[in-house]
């Protein structure tokens, strides 16, 4: 079954940068997401890398007006189900497995699966997926690598994440096969720990103003 692109595209096309969040303290989730929405980044990805991640997704989904919260680092069907039940609007996985593709078939919430190599991209394409995460972007070859995929994989678009920040984000967003990027630089740990929400809103506003070409 093809990717639920009609549900995924509005999220990814709505902003150039998707904040990738690791919630260390549950109480930070709502003010952090609120600060990002205020700065113009309504879609946020909360990674399932901390014990409170699912509760954080639930809180943001229920309490932050205008936010679309997604779940990141989803590795299996159990996490897919949990994240969807908590109110996730989209699911992000670092790679692609048959188990996740099966979960995506049975759960309404759309999947943005990861693929890096030509073979992985071709396998995802055969499953009907045309929008993919590219992770870890910088370590895997960066913007130059992605640029080399434009010609052989016409119609495939990527959301690169991993090692992207103010220094290189424009290189990625300039590519015709990059729909948006993901990154944690808009919510630095120090600012979150100190509750400096206004500064996070400023970082978000700067990121939200970046131009995309895809």
The CA-based angle 185-160-214, given to 5 degrees, is 110
Q: Does 162 bind ligand 3PG (CB under 6 A)?
A: yes
Q: Does 70 bind ligand 3PG (CB under 6 A)?
A: no
Among 161, 177, 201, 212, binds ligand 3PG (CB under 6 A): 161
Question: Which of 121, 36, 25, 38 lies closest to 70 in space, CA to CA?
Answer: 36
* The two structure tokens encoding residue 27: 């109480």
Is 196 designated active site? no
Q: Does 182 bind ligand 3PG (CB under 6 A)?
A: yes
Q: Does 188 bind ligand 3PG (CB under 6 A)?
A: no
Q: Does 186 bind ligand 3PG (CB under 6 A)?
A: no
Place of tokens 């080399």: 148
Q: Shortest Cβ contact with ligand 3PG: which residue?
A: 161
* The two structure tokens encoding residue 208: 């939200």
Question: Which of 53, 132, 40 lies closest to 87 in space, CA to CA?
Answer: 53
Residues in a beta bridge with 212: none
Among the candidate windows 26-34, 157-165, 166-174, 191-199, which touches ligand 3PG by CB under 6 A?
Answer: 157-165
* The two structure tokens encoding residue 99: 């188990």
Among the candidate windows 35-43, 109-117, 124-132, 160-168, which touches ligand 3PG by CB under 6 A?
Answer: 160-168
DSSP string, 89-108: SEEE-SS--HHHHHHHHHSS
Is 144 designated active site? no
Q: Shortest distance, CB of residue 46 to ligand 3PG, whole angstroms?
A: 11
Q: Shortest distance, CB of residue 80 to ligand 3PG, whole angstroms?
A: 16
What is the distance between the alpha carbons of residues 16 and 12, in angstroms, rounded to a whole number? 8
Among 184, 191, 192, 197, binds ligand 3PG (CB under 6 A): 184
Task: Point out the residues that are catalytic.
Answer: 45, 133
């Amino acid at each position: 079954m093809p990717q639920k692109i009609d549900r995924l595209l509005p999220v990814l096309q709505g902003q150039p940068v998707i904040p990738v969040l690791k919630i260390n303290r549950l109480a930070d989730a709502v003010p952090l997401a609120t600060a990002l929405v205020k700065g113009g980044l309504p879609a946020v990805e909360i990674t399932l890398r901390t014990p409170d991640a699912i509760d954080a997704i639930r809180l943001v989904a229920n309490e932050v007006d205008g936010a679309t919260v997604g779940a990141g680092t989803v590795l299996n069907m159990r996490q897919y189900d949990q994240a969807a039940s908590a109110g996730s609007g989209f699911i992000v996985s670092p790679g692609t497995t048959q188990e996740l593709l099966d979960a995506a078939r049975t759960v309404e919430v759309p999947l943005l699966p990861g693929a890096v190599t030509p073979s992985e991209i071709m396998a995802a394409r055969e499953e009907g997926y045309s929008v993919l995460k590219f992770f870890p972007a910088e370590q895997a070859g960066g913007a130059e690598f992605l640029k080399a995929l434009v010609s052989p994989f016409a119609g495939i678009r990527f959301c690169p994440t991993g090692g992207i920040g103010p220094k290189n984000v424009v290189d990625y967003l300039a590519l015709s096969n990059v729909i948006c990027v993901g990154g944690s630089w808009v919510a630095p740990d120090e600012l979150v720990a100190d509750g400096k929400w206004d500064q996070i809103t400023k970082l978000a506003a700067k990121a939200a103003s970046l131009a995309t070409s895809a």
